[in-house]
Amino acid sequence: MDRKLNFLNELEDIIDSRLAAGDDSSYVKKLLNSGLDRVLKKVGEEAGEVIIAAKNNDSPELLNESADLLFHLMLVLKKQGHSINDVVGVLADRHDR
């Protein structure tokens, strides 16, 4: 379970390594290089799929689409110079109020 709790940070490291690598065929690199609008479009698509899965009470699909949404949200954060830890910090600060 411990690895799973830290996996978002691992995933962020994977995203960073894909961006730093010279491999232009990487999905992460291609999507981020295609511009913010394209990345935001993916977030919108995935959010819609999360809504449909939840409405259909399809738990496996809800979890899969939520994972896709979170991944693409992390790409938006990266594109804007933020990290998942920045978001976690906001949540923690809200909890401390």
Give percent of the chain with pLDDT exceeding 70: 98
54-81 residue pLDDT tens: 999 999 999 999 999 999 999 999 999 9
> Domain of 21: which CATH number?
1.10.287.1080
H/E element holding 89?
helix 84-96
First and final C-alpha spacing in the chain: 29
Integer Cα distance of 16 and 30 in angstroms:
13
82-96 residue pLDDT tens: 999 999 999 999 998
| 49 closest CA partner among 61, 38, 39 | 61
Q: What is the pLDDT of residue 1?
A: 55
Contact residues for 42 (Cβ-Cβ < 8 A; gap 6+): 31, 72, 75
Q: What is the pLDDT of residue 34?
A: 95
Number of folded domains that form the chain? 1
Q: Residue 78: which domain range?
A: 2-96
**Stated length of the chain:** 97
